[in-house]
Amino acid sequence: MNRLSVFLKRLFQRERESGPYAPKQRSRLVLAVVGLVTLSLVSAGICLLVWLRETGVTRLDSSRLHVIIDYEHADNSLVFDRNGEKIGEFFSDYHLFLPYEKIPPLLIKAVLAVEDRHFFEHSGIDFRGIIRAMFASLRTGSFTQGGSTITQQVVRNFLLTPEKTFERKIKEALLSLQLERHLSKERILEIYLNALFLGQGAYGVGAAAERHFGKSIDQLELHEIALIAGLFQSPSRYNPHKAPEQARRRQQQVLKAMLTSGAISQAEYKRASKQPLHFATQVALNTTFAPHFIDAIQELTEKLLTSDVKGKGLRIYTTLDLGLQQDANDVVEHATDHFTQVAQKLAGNKKPDEKLIETAALIMDQHKGEILAMIGGRDYGRSQFNRALKAKRAPGSAFKPIVYTRALQDGVKWSDVALVAPLVIQDYRPQNSAGEYLSEVTYYNAFYRSLNTPAVELGHRLGIKNVIDMAKRLGVRSELKNQAGTLLGGSELTVMDMTSAYATLANNGEYVEPRMITRITDRDGKVLWDAQSVPQKRERAVAAPIAYMMLQAMQAVFRYGTASHYPEWAAFAAGKTGTTNEAKDNWFGGMTDSLTGVVWVGTDSNLAFNGSAGAHTLALPLWIRIMQKARLRYPSGAFTVPPGISTVPVHPLFGYRSEAGVMMPFIEGKEPIRYESAYSSVRDTGAYRDYLDR
């Protein structure tokens, strides 16, 4: 073959040097060429038959074709929010499977025009293409054109190596002929258009449209279709992101081929060839909207299905509200000034860095238990650790609603009076933040002012184990220590724990198991897991009147207590601050009649803040900003008053009924009767103080 090529090149060179032959001479040249080609083909055929018999290639095992025949297309697993918006995807290689009927016909024509114009006519091997490639090779003396069909390319990519050897070409041809007897042309083309690599990590035309242009394939225009069709020949050489000039030249070749094949008109060709190409910047979808939530969804899906989710073509439908999530994202992203001020309160830090400050937040629909928004940290690129689900931090006084809920259930009334006095339980010595001692106070007042010693005294009297039991019934799943410090939030738990507990109180005392996934299907819509078919745990934690009385006290936190900078929120919201020693952890949890939200602010390294810092300045402002936006999407009103509740004015210190007092909720028939307190007499005489002052 090489000798023939050299001979023909000399003949053609002679013709160029000597000018045109006379007709008689030209005919002799043509006959000579045809004779030489025929002789070469016969010789090659004989040699081929001998070689096939000796090497056994004719006995090629066709069972290998099952790899292609039974091929299941890889496909990204997609994650959707509650309204069907795509918010994430799981893949190792980027696949986006499209059945043949959903691939734009114009794209199919483009690929056929440049890769295999006679695809629907041949039986796996295009002999016309082979002869055309052979003559081109004879003219140049090298393999300048390939004669591989699309079927051969599929065989090569799935079963053979890319090396250019005679043996591989024979195997490729024989397997292609066999493959076409097993699969339809449409199926072979479907595999080809979905499985081959097309640059930027994309496999298949659907994935290439997303990766190169940031569009779905049905949104592509002709000039963009031509570029993608041109990538099949060499996705690395024609990668538009790395070699835009080469990609442009290849695109023009495809457009020319489409014109020649009749796929497009002259006018369409001219218009498309002049269109500029604009390529999309690669943005990881999983890090765009709710990255920590997406990570949690992957982990939960693998647990539910007991299998990997990447590239499995799953469709995972979640509870996330994308709009609300973006609102929460905006609040955190635009709170740099707030975090800078927070960083300046770090104790002993001469050069405060706002990047040291971290936050986490959850918003839940308390009636359905659905997580609507999640902030796992300020910057996912800096840290993928999910502080909303996995970080265990001490809640401080944010734990007190659990203590008081147990007390109300056991018959304690808000009007009951305690003496704020120094307290020692074993080696535990709780202190009040303002150093307040030796005064009378109702439990209602002690709660909204967040006094520590009354809560510890009360919890100790109730029994720490009973308080822990109440925490578990309300939804806390972290292990709590059986020690007095737990009564003031000394045991570490997660933002999810606190959100569940507060949501139970907001849901009239009924615990609803939190959920993040509603349904999982395969790409064809077959349901693999459905929340409706799995009973959601719902349990009565406390009676509705008890929960309502707790909510009323948490509303008083906005009226008179540690959140009183926002008194207008008392009309429709309830909540509680939580600050640990040295303000290392700062919490605010609160609820409206439709949503429960919890925010935590602190540092990963557990740094201390100075004395002026606390939940009311660190966490509460973020909670307010997030919930202000949330209320626009989920309007809220007053909490529903359950039957059996009576609200009367009570003196906040001495617990007797007083028209000048604060409104406190009671079980009907349990309201204070006296209109004068024995404690007020003691206070007026100062008798016990005289005794203590001795």
Q: Which residues are marked as active site?
A: 115, 397
Contact 292, 388 (CB under 8 A): yes
Contact 99, 318 (CB under 8 A): no
Query: How many C-beta neighbours within 10 Å does residue 173 have?
Result: 19
Give the closest residue to 597 by CA, choosing from 508, 473, 474, 503.
503
Q: Which two tokens stand for residue 451?
A: 């006094």
**Which parts of 505-644 are beta strand (E)?**
510-512, 517-521, 527-530, 538-540, 574-579, 585-591, 595-603
Residues 310, 318: Cα–Cα separation, whole Å: 17
Q: Which two tokens stand for residue 78?
A: 């997609």
Residue burial 660-672, b: 16+ Cβ < 10 Å; e: rest: ebbebbbbeeebb
Residues 590, 553: Cα–Cα separation, whole Å: 12
Give the DSSP per-residue string, 270-309: HHHHHPPP-PPPP--GGGTS-HHHHHHHHHHHHHHHTS--
Q: Which helix (H) or strand (E) holds 664?
A: strand 662-667
Residues, the chain: 694
Give the closest residue to 562 by CA, choosing from 582, 581, 587, 585.
587
Give the DSSP per-residue string, 66-100: HHHHT----B-EEEE-TTS-EEEEE-SSEE----G
Contact 221, 209 (CB under 8 A): no
Residues 582, 585: Cα–Cα separation, whole Å: 8
Give the closest residue to 452 by CA, choosing from 474, 478, 484.
484
The identity of residue 244, as a single letter, is: P
Interior angle at CA 127, CA 57 and CA 204, nearest 5: 80
What is the sign of the dihedral through the CA atoms of 665, 671, 672 and 674? positive
Give the DSSP per-residue string, 538-555: EEE-S-HHHHHHHHHHHH
Tell me the helices (H) and strands (E) count for the chain, helix number first: 25, 18
Residue found under tokens 């049905």: 218
Distances (CA, A) of 119 to 73, 102, 152, 252, 265: 22, 19, 11, 22, 21
Residues 13, 107: Cα–Cα separation, whole Å: 41
**Strand-strand pairing, 538-540 and 527-530:** unpaired
Q: Which helix (H) or strand (E) holds 626?
A: helix 620-633
**Which parts of 158-234 are beta strand (E)?**
202-203
Q: Judge residue 250's burial from the number of C-beta atoms within 10 Å of its C-beta, 0-12 exposed, 13-18 middle, 19 or more buried.
A: buried
Give the DSSP per-residue string, 374-405: EE--S-TTT----TTTT--B--GGGGHHHHHH
Give the DSSP per-residue string, 299-339: HHHHHHHTS--TTB--EEEE---HHHHHHHHHHHHT-HHHH
The identity of residue 67, as a single letter, is: V
